[in-house]
A and B are shown apart, each in its own frame.
Chain A
Amino acid sequence: MKKVKTLPFVMTIISALYFIYVVSSGNSKMIGDEVGGDPGGMLLPLVLSIFMFIGFLFITIKEKPDANAAKDPAVTRLFIITLICAILYVVLHSMIGFVITSVLLVYVLTDLYLSIGKEKLPVWKHILGAVISVLGTVFVYTLFRYVTRMMLRLGRQRVIPAILGNSNVTAFISCIIVTVFVLILGLMIAKKLKGSAYRDMAISGTVAFAVTLYLYIVFRQFFMVTLAPGFLNF
């Protein structure tokens, strides 16, 4: 049986390790402190580590784990899957790229959450839904990338009015393209999939598609942030 609470116990150990680290690093003095007087860079971290160690040790001794705290296995399962997805997103981001990892993360989590308390569909259908979401997003991404690149080039060559070749205008056009697709998908979900078992999957796919591409437009096309291209290196 657990005798102590995990968190304060872990924090006590971390504080002790922090203390050892601070002491072993030595005291760094101010540059040009020939006459002395600088307490050095070790003092405050040392005080903090001692305070944290004593404080967390006190809590570890004083607080007892709640014996009645029952863990809901469904919540634990959801939490673990969310955490794994969140870690995988960071780990695989640079290799696979922003667009595909983002669609997958949002699709998987939305689909998982929406299926809570509902009749389970076979796993292969969920995987198929994820594949369709990725392919659909990549298709629209390629489409607006092609359109905006062409406009930027034609704008530079003065084939079309220069204003249409402006990066903000092309980003706005990308936004319109994505919005048209989102509206079509939204209408389809509302009209064709009412009461269907695939409705939640379609909602997940649409949310993943919309969020990923809008974020791409805002951060990449408006603010010029370099997003990881990954597999879509074109």
Chain B
Amino acid sequence: MDAFMQGLDMVLNMSTMLWCTFGSILGIILGALPGLTATMGIALVMPISFQLPAATGIGMLLAVYCGAVCGASIPAILLGIPGNPNAIATVEDGHLMTKKGLAGQALGGAVVASFIGGMGSLVCLIFFSPLIAKLTLAFGPAEKTTLALVGLVIIASVSGKNILKGLLMGAFGMALAFLGTDPFSGQLRIPFSSFFAHTPLSKGLDLTATLIGLYGVSQVFAEIVNLTKQQAAPVSTKIEKIFPPFKKVRQMWKIILSSLGIGTVIGAIPGTGASIAVFMARNAAQGICASSKGKLEQPGTGCLEGVFAPEVANNAVTGGALIPALALGIPGDAATAVLIGALMIKGVTPGFQLFQQNMPLVYGIFIAMFFANIMMAVYQLAGVRIYPKVLKISQKILLPVVLILSYIGSYAVAGQSISSGIYYMGIALVMGFVGYVLKKDGYPIAPIVLGLILGGMFEENFRRAVKLAGGSYFTFFTKPICWIFILIAVAVVVVPIVKNRKNGANA
């Protein structure tokens, strides 16, 4: 109880509430702007979170995360363009509702659905993450090594169409993580070490600057191609009734529950993410509607059912993705990978130790998530007539602003040192260019982030495990938990390849 009260104290103060408000509104706006993702939003405000106490900073990042996922429904409903991949499945029914003159109800319904999804998955997060974290008590270095391998392989396999490219990007991320000082011998592991020994690179590649470069700067380069294209049609901002009829919401309880379950479970599986969950939830909703004897309308006809299912699911992913992130240190998606990065920079290592040694902070994170969801709902509903106007801001103005924000965000990591700040800006620029070139050629970015985050954990535990086994590599094949993780990793790589071969043979 004491830990809960301390957690409450960390969050229930004016500063945290104001920063969560800022994060929530910023997240909604970022989510609403096509091309800007939740991950990029979190990466951009991460430098601000450094300057704040841990619970306040994490609360603000969570507010951005929840806001951006929900905000993506605005352009999906009004323009028929998803703000980011989270809202792909909302487009069809949401935009059809706008054409029918029901834009207000669709926007309001999306907020209500997102709130239910966020809160429902938060309950699961509170219930399951301590249990899963407790399981890790049985994990030694060998188990932790194979667990890191699973996290890396899963996200590498599912974050792009080509598994090999995903795995190569994971390896590339790990290679970047190994730059710097060898944690066991203290020897420098950077090329031209006599030159770089006295630069910040000797401490390794800075995670914040790298993340900002990969998600912020690279996005600016990637969006340039759209500047010469015709701009989207003017947005209809005529919005009347906002709240969906309560009776209708009550009738959709089966859709809400199934979408909540799908979103939370899919979110909790590392590497899957909302874009898979929303389609699964929509498919499940179609089945429920078909068996409702006409009480519910079929998704695809411009109805609330088609908006509720994906919107409950995509916000349920936020809580679901935090379960493995907090309990195991394995992120559920790219956004939680960045969140873990923010936690680690704050000196907080996710896993059982966090639950054992810093329970007030864990409660603080849960409470912050609770408020982040409330604020998301309040501010999106309050501004439901204002946010559509944000869509009128041209990309031509936004891109230079995102570029300068990315730069100053990475610079701020240095704090008082100008030369270090400029070095971090250089890292952001280089990584931005690298990210752009890779994305352009179809290489996924998320595995690089995972490699960067898990690389250190993997190497440390790998070497410790082999050392404890007296130099034997068979130690990974003598423990049942390791076997489970190895089999999962192998299955994740092999099953899609076999499936693709079969599909190719059938076609």
Say whether B48 contacts A102, CB under 8 Å: no
**Which of A22-30, A137-145, A185-193 touches B?**
A22-30
B184 is an interface residue with CB less than 8 A from chain A: yes
Interface residues as binary, B436-452 with A (CB distance below 8 Å gives 1, 0 otherwise): 01100101000000000
Given A37-B466, A38-B466, A39-B471, check contact A225 B412 (CB 8 Å).
yes
How many Å lie between the Cα of A75 and that of B458 in the bound state? 41
**Which of A103-111, A127-135, A171-179 touches B?**
A103-111
The interface residues of chain A, by DSSP majority, are classed as helix
What chain B residues lie within 8 Å of A55 (beta carbons)? 164, 167-168, 171
Chain A residue, CB-CB nearest to B396: A113
B504 is an interface residue with CB less than 8 A from chain A: no
What chain B residues lie within 8 Å of A234 (beta carbons)? none
What chain B residues lie within 8 Å of A215 (beta carbons)? 404-405, 408
Given A51-B171, A83-B221, A109-B403, check contact A41 B397 (CB 8 Å).
no
Say whether A105 contacts B404, CB under 8 Å: yes
How many Å lie between the Cα of A193 and that of B171 in the bound state? 54
**Cβ 8 A contact of A110, one of B228, B400, B437, B468:** B400
Say whether A226 contacts B418, CB under 8 Å: yes
How many Å lie between the Cα of A219 and that of B409 in the bound state? 9
* Category for how many chain A residues contact B: 35 or more
Chain B residue, CB-CB nearest to A56: B168
Chain A residue, CB-CB nearest to B50: A223
Say whether A48 contacts B425, CB under 8 Å: no
**Cβ 8 A contact of A207, one of B168, B397, B407:** B397
How many Å lie between the Cα of A109 and that of B185 in the bound state? 47
Chain B residue, CB-CB nearest to A225: B412
* Category for how many chain B residues contact A: 35 or more
Say whether A94 contacts B422, CB under 8 Å: yes
Say whether B189 contacts A33, CB under 8 Å: no
Given A41-B182, A211-B401, check contact A226 B164 (CB 8 Å).
no
How many Å lie between the Cα of A82 and that of B51 in the bound state? 30
Say whether A223 contacts B51, CB under 8 Å: yes
Say whether A114 contacts B407, CB under 8 Å: no
Chain A residue, CB-CB nearest to B440: A7
Instruction: Kindly identify, within residues 74 to 94 of chain A, every residue whose CB is under 8 Å from any CB belonging to chain B.
Output: 74-75, 78-79, 82-83, 86-87, 89-90, 93-94
Which of A33, A41, A98 has the most B CB atoms < 10 Å from its CB? A41
Say whether B189 contacts A41, CB under 8 Å: yes
How many Å lie between the Cα of A27 and that of B417 in the bound state? 34
A117 is an interface residue with CB less than 8 A from chain B: yes
Chain B residue, CB-CB nearest to A51: B171
Say whether A116 contacts B396, CB under 8 Å: yes
Interface residues as binary, A179-199 with B (CB distance below 8 Å gives 1, 0 otherwise): 000000000000000000000
B165 is an interface residue with CB less than 8 A from chain A: yes
**Cβ 8 A contact of A74, one of B228, B394, B422, B462:** B228
Measured CB to CB, the closest approach of chain A to B187, in angstroms, equals 4
**Cβ 8 A contact of B433, one of A40, A83, A114:** A83
How many Å lie between the Cα of A227 and that of B47 in the bound state? 14
Given A55-B167, A90-B425, check contact A110 B397 (CB 8 Å).
yes
B297 is an interface residue with CB less than 8 A from chain A: no
What chain A residues lie within 8 Å of B401 (beta carbons)? 106, 207, 211
What chain A residues lie within 8 Å of B418 (beta carbons)? 94, 226-228
B421 is an interface residue with CB less than 8 A from chain A: yes
What chain A residues lie within 8 Å of B438 (beta carbons)? 7
Chain B residue, CB-CB nearest to A35: B470
A161 is an interface residue with CB less than 8 A from chain B: no
Which of A87, A106, A222 has the most B CB atoms < 10 Å from its CB? A106
Say whether A82 contacts B224, CB under 8 Å: yes
Say whether A86 contacts B429, CB under 8 Å: yes
How many Å lie between the Cα of A170 and that of B169 in the bound state? 47
B411 is an interface residue with CB less than 8 A from chain A: yes
Say whether B441 contacts A7, CB under 8 Å: yes
Measured CB to CB, the closest approach of chain B to A189, in angstroms, equals 12
How many Å lie between the Cα of A218 and that of B458 in the bound state? 38
Given A55-B167, A90-B425, A94-B422, check contact A223 B178 (CB 8 Å).
no
Say whether A30 contacts B184, CB under 8 Å: yes
How many Å lie between the Cα of A208 and that of B400 in the bound state? 9
Say whether B467 contacts A37, CB under 8 Å: yes
A122 is an interface residue with CB less than 8 A from chain B: no
Measured CB to CB, the closest approach of chain A to B19, in angstroms, equals 11
Interface residues as binary, B305-344 with A (CB distance below 8 Å gives 1, 0 otherwise): 0000000000000000000000000000000000000000
Say whether A87 contacts B467, CB under 8 Å: no
Chain A residue, CB-CB nearest to B415: A225
Say whether B399 contacts A109, CB under 8 Å: yes
How many Å lie between the Cα of A211 and that of B178 in the bound state? 36
Say whether A113 contacts B168, CB under 8 Å: no
How many Å lie between the Cα of A121 and that of B100 in the bound state? 44
Say whether B463 contacts A30, CB under 8 Å: yes
Say whether B437 contacts A113, CB under 8 Å: no
How many Å lie between the Cα of A225 and that of B228 in the bound state? 37
What chain A residues lie within 8 Å of B421 (beta carbons)? 225-228
Measured CB to CB, the closest approach of chain A to B222, in angstroms, equals 10
**Cβ 8 A contact of A225, one of B168, B184, B185, B411:** B411
Say whether A203 contacts B397, CB under 8 Å: yes
What chain A residues lie within 8 Å of B417 (beta carbons)? 226
Measured CB to CB, the closest approach of chain B to A58, in angstroms, equals 7
What chain B residues lie within 8 Å of A90 (beta carbons)? 407, 422, 425-426, 429
Say whether B185 contacts A45, CB under 8 Å: no
How many Å lie between the Cα of A29 and that of B187 in the bound state? 9
What chain A residues lie within 8 Å of B165 (beta carbons)? 59
Interface residues as binary, B370-411 with A (CB distance below 8 Å gives 1, 0 otherwise): 000000000000000000000000111101110111011001
Q: Could you show 10 A-B contacts with beta carbons less than 8 Å apart?
A: A8-B441, A21-B191, A37-B466, A44-B174, A55-B168, A55-B171, A113-B397, A113-B400, A223-B412, A225-B421
Interface residues of A (CB under 8 A from B): 5, 7-8, 11, 18, 21, 25, 28-31, 33, 36-41, 44-45, 48-49, 51-52, 55-56, 58-59, 72, 74-75, 78-79, 82-83, 86-87, 89-90, 93-94, 98, 102, 105-106, 109-110, 113-114, 116-117, 203, 207-208, 211-212, 215, 218-219, 222-223, 225-228
Q: Nearest 6 pairs between A and B by C-beta?
A: A113-B396, A109-B400, A28-B185, A28-B187, A30-B184, A37-B471
